[in-house]
Structure 1
Amino acid sequence: MVYNGELKQSRIDYCLLNRNLTFFVQGVYYYDTTISDHCFVEIKIDFEKIERGPGLWILNNTFLNNEEYVSKIKNIIEEEKQSTLFNSEFLIWWDNLKYKIKKFSQVFGKRIQKEKNAEYLLLQNKLKGISERIAQGEVVDIAQYKNLKLNLSVYEEQKCKGAILRSKAFWAIESDKCTKYFLQMEKEKQESHCIKELLNEQNESVTYTEDILDMQYDFYVNCILLLKQMMIL
């Protein structure tokens, strides 16, 4: 951290890990960030030895603002419309189209992310270099340092928004689902709030829904008429 033109350093941030997982740790790294006055502590863990499934994939809707992506998707759609399935088996054609769009989106997303990561690391390395020069007592351009931090903050904000979106999508799909037991409880709760029986003027029990609604309607009509009479008096 650079404060008032001086480099401030201390090691107070740690990554705590279960001893059984230390075998998977590849390294621990520290990076400058604009989110906090502390450096990022990054720990890389490799679980490649553990078999994993395909995972959850959600389209990054920011791609829709990318002219290159939109143009390629339009081309894919036009090419697929030439297929004989378009007129004969539309649902099969539709599934095939979605599959091709998904595959292209995944490849496109990886390329874009790779480019962004390269720019992000370049900014971090520049900030690290300036911090080291300050530590050695060199005079640096503080305006350049602040400009680099500003550019870095843009990437960090995008990363945070992406993490929030992925978390929401994961929770919506993979979170706990209501079981039959809880759905039955909710149904019983709603039924308990319903009026199932009323007594009419003859002190007779009324249980049919339409009759109950008619009694309620008559009751409130009479209340309003009585209120009007009282106001006139």
Structure 2
Amino acid sequence: MDEKNTPKMGHEPHVAPFEMFDDWFKDAKSNEDAYPDAMTLATADKDGRPSARIVLLKGFDDRGFVFYTNYESRKGSQLAENSYAALCFHWKTVEKCVRIEGKVAKVDDAESDEYFASRPRGSQLGAWASIQSRPMTGRFDLEKRVAEFTAKFGLGKVARPDHWGGFRLVPDRIEFWAEGKFRLHDRKLFTRDADDAGWNTQKLFP
């Protein structure tokens, strides 16, 4: 079989899903041309109406997957109504995909403060200036607010706004997908035990 079309799942039945994700993510960062940390975030409102957008993964460990946003944005409002969400990574070059589902909760203030302090100053000011997901009459509305907050903070430290911070998706389901020849892809599903004692694994038909 052509090496390019050989399923890339590997045979690691005892590897925890976070370890497997770490291996795949390192592979993607080494081979993808741009944004290996980009992931689709799907949320839904209280009526079940879904919405999806691309966000960036800013950290992960065995607690879950972290991203940052304006808590008053559309995604933030939906997560306040319905805490279940899904993530999807698609790495075209390495021909792999990871799908993650679970509940989302805010990270603690200290974690959000630490990440906010690491951002470029322009991004920090943007977090204050952008009333995310709200209508504006034109680009000047945003530029005016950027100028206002630039003047407000001057050369001093830009504090994290209360409406901006991190979310952590705590997964109960993680699926790894690797492309195979003739669409005979390789799929491996991890589901968390009901008592949170570990993970169950199973192979899925493509």
Q: TM-score interval w.r.t. the shorter chain?
A: under 0.3
Q: Of Structure 1 and Structure 2, which has the larger fraction of its residues in helix?
A: 1
TM-score normalized by the length of structure 2: 0.25
TM-score normalized by the length of structure 1: 0.23
CA radius of gyration, larger in: 1
